[in-house]
Amino acid sequence: MGPRSADAWARVLAALRASPAAFVARAGAEALAAELLSELRSERLSEPTKVSLLAAILEFPTQLWPDPTAAEAAVSALLDTLALLPPRPAALRRPLLLAATSVLASCGALAPASAATSRLLCVLLRAAAGRAAGPEQRAVRATACECLRELESCHPGLLAGQLGLLRALQDTLGTQAHCLLFVLTLRDALGALARAGPGAPAGLHGLPDSPGAQWPGPWDWSLAGEDVRDPAAPVGREGGRPEPSAGPLDLTPPEARELRAAVSQLLDASYLLTPPAQAQMLQQLSQVLRTVRGQPPALLKPQLVRLLGTARVSLLHAVLASKDAFGEALFTAQDEALLLRRLVGAAQHPALPSPARLFCLHCLLHFPENWPLGPAGEEGTPVLLTPSLATGLLPSLLQDPPDLLARLHLLCLLCGEELGADGRRDCQGTEDQVLLYLQGLLASLRQGAAQPGAPRSSVTLCFRASYLATRCLASHPGALAQLTKGLAELYQARPCLAPHFVDLLEQAGEVLAEPLGKALQQVAVAGAGGAQALQWHLQILTKVAGGQPLGPTLGFLWAALGQGGDWAWEQALLGACRALLRGTDLSGAGPRNLANLLQELARGLDDPDSRDRGRLYYSLFTHLSGSKLGSALGPTRSTPMLGSSLVEENEGFASALTVQEAQAPLQLRRVPQQAKEPPVILGLTVEASEILYSLELRFRVLGPHYEPLEAVQVPCLRPGASPKLLLLPLEPRRPYPTLLDVSVLYATPGGLTCYAQLPSLPIAFADLFLPLPPPSPEVTHPPTFQELWASCLPGGAESCMWGPWQGQALETLVTKHWEPFVMSATPPTSYRVAIRLPPSSQLLLQLEAAGEDGVRVALRTDDWAILPLAGEYLRGLGATL
Amino acid sequence: MAQRAIWLVSHEPGTPHGGTVRFSRRYPTVEKRAKTFNGSSYVPLPEDDPFCKALLFELRLLDDDKDFVESRDGCSRISKASVYGLPIGGKELWPVLALQKNGLIYVSVPLVEQTLSAHPPLISISGISQAFDLLFGLIDFFDSGPRTEADLSTKVSQLPDLLLHICPFGTLLDSNFLLDNFSNLSIYQAPKQPAWKAGTYKGKPQVAVSITEKVKSMQYDKREVADMWQVYGTITCKCDLEGVMPNVTISLNLPTNGSPLQDILVHPCVTSLDSAVLTSSSVDIMDDSAFSGPYKFPFTPPLESFHLCYYTSQVPVPPILGFYQLKEEDSQLKITVHLKLHESVKNCFEYCEAHIPFYNRGPITHLEYKVSFGQVEVLREKSLLIWIIGQKFPKSLEINLSGTVNFNTMGHQKQPVDTICIGGTTYVKLYFRIPDYTLTGCYADQHSVQVFASGKPKITTCRELISSDYYIWNSKAPAPVAYRSLFL
């Protein structure tokens, strides 16, 4: 493929952007990545085109370099390109830094051992510390800071060793980028120290001696975490941020003083940052202060007063976060009241955009109170939010649906308790008014939804509002009755809303479902809406008929049967019958009528499938008792969108037939086995964490070098029982190490068949060792070691190496690893070992201790291909010493 | 505190897909963190096409809302603060913040630094407010200037570069996308200068202050329902001043009988606020002791035009008091509208119109009317009467319209259904603008602006009153109540 033109690249990048996975699969990640990198140095392409190539690298690095090693090479290539740029201003410098950072951080190449990592960090630190004054240099400096900040975000603690340098830069240059980088690094460094506990390697490196910024020496990874924080965070709070189990960090007095000075200085300059940057800085400084013992949060106070007045969502959010972090230590009761009033004001401010108002309203319902009464993490109205304070937050019909619902929710929460209880707070006396208001609003919404041709959005709004109000009205039978009546009227006016009713019945809980079900059944059996509404009535009856008296439903179904219809109609009819079968009212004349109806269905329906089902129901009904009938027809899961109830009621059955993918509830462990002759035996024990039956363990050796293994059956495994031992005969075609892929198929006590994939087991070179076969009785003179040694050549190979085993080590080694294979020995200095490697190779070792320096190992084999494996094996033994 | 991805989707009703992705930007480094933080509840970002489809479906912008779909229409699935969960490949992508404005959908997916197995409250997600800032910034960017397709395309083509500066790794550095050129970017900030004011102004010093007040009203003319009206204002400033950080103080004044300003929200460049300004709130019952200014706002101005502050106020009377009666008689409607301008209001409009719409009735076939003042325009197909009152009310300050209207009910089906104006429930809506006037009386003049910088600046001030949601409901039928006095 020749070099592409700028237009061709634009097309390629558009295709990549549209569907990265498909495009990379088509074009080949490696080829595309290599082409992108080489084109960056091409002189044909213009700078804007190259910037667009870098933008693609910035955005899709994981698709282009799925492998960390390749990613590392790519970062090096990008840095090489950067080094080749001419010293004059170049538009490529910033995107190159960004792209290299993105590739390094997102492809998993950021690591202590990575050369590209150290190179990039050095380049970035140098660029961030640059002093040149031109606009280009300023931009590169800021970009380098951003890149460092991103690396630090991905790997908290990475820059902890450079804290002094960063502080100095922040002092002298003081730009937003430097401030943000320093704050983040400071937070992460303190967090890492707090997590490390009292035995931390060092205190705050370099923070106290800020003026003398030391240039980075060898990189210190001691405080750098594994990756981003461990996600074992407490529920409802982000990140495992310094909420350390070891408690807050104790700093020495000079360190603490220095920290306080640094924080105050940052806060004083925070006015100079853009609002989103201020919000970030404030949140991170709150975290800093929270990490360290004895740091007064009052430092934040002067800034909070300024921020409280602003209309920015992010600044308000940051203020709330610091309130959450420090509570009363930062916000007195009066401050809390003021903050709440500001929040109420913002939530109803007509000049703010609606989403911002809604967010403020959400914050009100999760307001971090100094002394919360309700459970944490749940929505609730703060104690200070009195109904009179919330007057401006009432819902009204003219608001947009999201506003209306959010305000209705607030009203319900605000008055939920008061309406039920005997008028606490100052809601007493207004109870009836609130109820009337709520009912009026709901009635208007129902009226809107009842309009013929009303859009689904207004219908949905009506049902959502009813759902919210139900919770608030639960203790008000009168109001609930009115809601039920209104909804029944709505159904009467528009039976096509049946799916919404079914949904409401499921979601709203018993308190509404019970009376509403009854009311809807009455409307349905009365047959409102004529023949077109029949399908909707059947849908409602399928949901509610089970709990209602049988008679009226049966009458309706008989009448419906007379009208006839298509397959779907027949299925709907059968669905309603099924609901009756599972119902509770099977007394009096009902059962006989139901049996008659089922018989009529079995005979009279057009579709043979429907007739069969009718017959099945009839047989079940006439032969099974009520409780068995209920379980035979299975748990009902109402899924109104399902075309056929056949699928629905067979779901449980079908899942019993299908193999389920599961997490393996069992563990395999290797047990050493020493076979005397072929085959090599691999010993495994199996333990289960729950009862499992009819296990079939399937083994597959990866690669072509082994005969296939047969599956092993185990009838039963119980937790706590002694582990079951399995002996797997391995038949290598070549004596090479490999991996054993293990999967298991089993039955659970619940009757499900499950399939699970277990972790692969490695088969090492040493696992294949066997002693030489014992001499057969016919052979009078078994070959000596010397004869075997000589017989290896010329067909085989020989090698010689030095082993670092001194003194007794050689004897220990032989006892531990080669005991069965020793042919002759002069302990503790000389051993001759002969190992057989199935199917037909052998490995001979002559070990001679050479004084105190180590051991000379001579090895010969009749199979040259195993020589590297043997070498690796011996080196491995040396390493374990 | 970062964003995983940003999308800009245009809603194109009537096209096969209903919309297209105009722009998208993913942040792989943030995605890597999302994977670790979210653990097993991590849901990968979808490609553009499936995302667009799921978004339009969730926002009900596709034409197929014929059937009930639980994931979209379920009564318990109530989205909070424009944050949605999108079903993608059997899992739910959450939180997706999506804001709609002028046919465009602005979307951002903030990083959640915890597991998502249960949705945490939005307030605990540090990136969520940043997502709001980012999208509001984008909305300002796309709303500025002409809204033609060509302009939109130009702006979309500038986005990759802008984001490379303002949000290179998904962490927002500035929410101001409205820049003359990249040299004004915060990232180019010179040392010891505000990041939001990277450049400096060179030229003749001038300060412009404009006060825009809007008035909302709901009038019922009923004994049992109280009328409601509310004023809210925006102060917009443009300061062209030399120097790195010029200090400016603007004081807003009220005349002696003016209505105090409340719920004051200021721009972040304001350096300090008087506690009386901070605490004056609309939830308090008004009395004479309320703080009535002057309202001082000290600040260092950014280069561009900005909203110095927003406020609300409770004025004693609505500027125009009206009543509206509509009765159905023998298949025709009899209407009477009466409007009265309050004597304290400046009788000098730029325009003043009363719109009288008729919903769910079909096109107008016949109209007979009598007006004491102004002219009436009939839009038959839209079933709308427009009463053009003009620049001035007559000396009596009172005007009337009465008439009868007939409709062609056969043409009814073609018109969209209104779910509020059913039966006799209907309204008259007023549209007016009064230049150089505010209802609160709030004003700024030459003496209100103090500039602590070299050179005497030229100061221009202006003010205006505009109607916004000014409804007068038919007093002969039920009307939706904006009940403010419920708990008082």
What would the pLDDT profile of A745-804 be if each residue is shown by its tens digit? 888 877 778 888 888 888 888 888 888 887 777 777 777 888 888 888 877 888 888 888
Tell me whether residues A392 and B469 touch, CB distance under 8 A: no
Distance CA A344, CA A363 (A): 10
Q: B235 vs B165, which has greater pLDDT?
A: B235
Q: A724 vs A649, which has greater pLDDT?
A: A724
Distances (CA, A) of A692 to A687, A700, A742, B321: 10, 22, 17, 80
Residues A322-335: pLDDT tens digits?
998 888 889 999 99
Tell me whether residues A458 and B419 touch, CB distance under 8 A: yes
Residues A676-720: pLDDT tens digits?
777 888 888 998 888 888 888 988 888 788 888 888 888 888 888
Q: Residue A39 pLDDT more than 60?
A: yes
ipTM score assigned to the predicted complex: 0.94
State the number of CA atoms in the 13 A half-sphere of B115 facing the CB: 11
- List helix spans (H) across B7-125: 28-38, 48-58, 70-73
Tell me whether residues A355 and B82 touch, CB distance under 8 A: yes
Min Cα–Cα distance to chain B from A312, Å: 7
Residues A173-187: pLDDT tens digits?
888 999 999 999 999
Least confident of A504-508, A638-642, B110-114, B429-433: A638-642
**Residue showing tokens 């007057």:** A391
Residue extents of the structural domains in chain A: 1-154, 163-210+223-230+252-331, 387-416+429-448+457-526, 550-627, 657-767, 769-878
Return the pLDDT at A383.
Answer: 84
Return the pLDDT at A175.
Answer: 87
Test mutation, B23, B31, B75, chain A, max A CBs within 10 A: B75
Distances (CA, A) of A508 to A79, A468, A497, A502: 60, 8, 16, 10
- From the list B29, B115, B126, the residue facing A283 with the nearest CB is B126
Average the pLDDT over B397-407 and give the result: 94
Superfamily of domain A769-878: TATA-Binding Protein (3.30.310.10)
Distance CA B87, CA B53 (A): 10
**Would you list the DSSP string of B206-262?**
EEEEEEEEEEEEEE---SSS--EEEEEEEEEEEEE--SSS-EEEEEEB--TTPPPEE
Distance CA A442, CA A448 (A): 10
Return the pLDDT at A241.
Answer: 45
Return the pLDDT at B389.
Answer: 95
Which sign, positive or negative, has the C-alpha torsion A230, A234, A238, A240?
Answer: negative
Distance CA B83, CA B107 (A): 10
Residues A77-131: pLDDT tens digits?
999 999 988 877 778 999 999 999 999 999 988 888 888 999 999 999 999 988 8
Give the closest residue to B79 by CA, choosing from A448, A506, A405.
Answer: A405
Return the percentage of chain B with pLDDT > 70, whole number.
93
Tell me whether residues A350 and B196 touch, CB distance under 8 A: no
Q: Which residues of B touch A358 (CB under 8 A)?
A: 80-82
Min Cα–Cα distance to chain B from A328, Å: 19
Tell me whether residues B114 and A235 touch, CB distance under 8 A: yes
Please give the residue of chain A at the shortest CA–CA distance from B170.
Answer: A150
- From the list A237, A309, A499, the residue facing B278 with the nearest CB is A309
With residue A581 as reference, give the H or E element that holds it.
helix A567-581
Q: Residue B187 pLDDT more than 70?
A: no
Average the pLDDT over B268-292 and give the result: 83
Return the pLDDT at A390.
Answer: 83
Q: Which residues of B touch A235 (CB under 8 A)?
A: 114, 118, 120
Residues A637-671: pLDDT tens digits?
444 444 444 555 555 555 556 777 788 888 888 88
Q: Please, which pLDDT band fits residue B296 given cuts at 50, 70 and 90?
A: very high
Distance CA A527, CA A534 (A): 7
Order of strands across the sheet that contains B19-26: B19-26, B3-11, B104-110, B91-101, B83-88
Distance CA B452, CA B346 (A): 35
Average pLDDT value for chain A? 83
Min Cα–Cα distance to chain A from B292, Å: 18
Q: Which structural domains are found in chain B, ordered by start?
A: 2-170 (3.30.450), 206-317+439-472 (2.60.40.1170), 320-436 (2.60.40.1170)
Q: Specify whether domain A657-767 bears CATH 2.60.40.1930.
A: yes
Return the percentage of chain A with pLDDT > 90, whole number.
25
Q: Which of A473-482, A862-871, B32-41 has the highest mean pLDDT?
A: B32-41
Q: Which residues of B touch A275 (CB under 8 A)?
A: 133, 175, 196, 268
Q: Please, which pLDDT band fits residue A869 given cuts at 50, 70 and 90?
A: confident
Looking only at the bridges linking them, the beta strands covering A797-803 and B384-388 are unpaired
Residues pairing with A507 in the sheet:
none
The encoded tokens of residue B233 equal 């204002």
Other CB atoms within 10 Å distance of the CB of residue B107: 27
Q: Residue A1 pLDDT more than 60?
A: no
**What is the gyration radius of the CA atoms in chain B, in angstroms?**
26
Amino acid identity of B360?
N
Least confident of A176-185, A259-268, A498-507, A842-851: A842-851
Min Cα–Cα distance to chain A from B372, Å: 31
Q: Which residues of B touch A463 (CB under 8 A)?
A: 75
Residues pairing with B451 in the sheet:
B248
Q: Residue B480 pLDDT more than 70?
A: yes
Average the pLDDT over B122-151 and give the result: 91
Q: B95 vs A817, which has greater pLDDT?
A: B95
Test mutation, A140, A176, A241, A366, chain B, max B CBs within 10 A: A176
The encoded tokens of residue A844 equal 């001979």
Task: With H, G, I as helix, E, B as strand and everything else as coil, classify residue B454.
Answer: coil
- From the list B2, B232, B481, the residue facing A351 with the nearest CB is B232
Tell me whether residues B312 and A351 touch, CB distance under 8 A: yes
Q: Which residues of B touch A172 (CB under 8 A)?
A: 191
Return the pLDDT at A229.
Answer: 47
As a three-state string, the secondary structure of A792-859 is CCCCCEEEEEEECCCCCHHHHHHHHHHHHHEEEEECCCEEEEEEEECCCEEEEEEEEECCCCCEEEEE
The encoded tokens of residue B477 equal 């039928």
Return the pLDDT at A203.
Answer: 54
Using CB atoms within 10 A of its CB, is residue A766 exposed (0-12), middle (13-18) or buried (19+)?
A: middle
Distance CA A173, CA A571 (A): 76
Please give the residue of chain B at the shortest CA–CA distance from A324.
Answer: B124
Output DSSP code: residue B469. Answer: E
Residues A282-311: pLDDT tens digits?
999 999 998 888 888 888 888 888 898 898
Residues A208-249: pLDDT tens digits?
443 334 444 456 666 665 555 443 333 344 544 444 445 678
Q: Counting one residue from A and one from B, how many pairs have CB atoms under 8 Å apart?
A: 394
Distance CA A807, CA A674 (A): 28
Return the pLDDT at A562.
Answer: 78
Tell me whether residues A238 and B124 touch, CB distance under 8 A: yes
Residues pairing with A693 in the sheet:
A716, A747
Tell me whether residues B68 and A503 touch, CB distance under 8 A: yes
Return the pLDDT at A3.
Answer: 77
As a three-state string, the secondary structure of A773-789 is CCCCCCCCCCCCHHHHH
With residue A245 as reference, give the H or E element that holds it.
none
The encoded tokens of residue B76 equal 């318990």
Distance CA B305, CA B179 (A): 11
Overall residue count recorded for chain A in this entry = 881
Q: Please, which pLDDT band fits residue B290 given cuts at 50, 70 and 90?
A: confident
Distance CA B135, CA B127 (A): 12
Q: Residue A279 pLDDT more than 50?
A: yes
**Residue showing tokens 């054993």:** A740
Residues A585-611: pLDDT tens digits?
566 667 788 888 888 888 888 888 888
Distance CA A514, CA A512 (A): 6
Residues A152-162: pLDDT tens digits?
999 998 898 88
Min Cα–Cα distance to chain B from A668, Å: 24
- Buried b vs exposed e over B215-252: b needs ≥16 C-beta within 10 Å? bbbbbbbeeebebbbbbbbbbbbbbbbeeebbebebbb
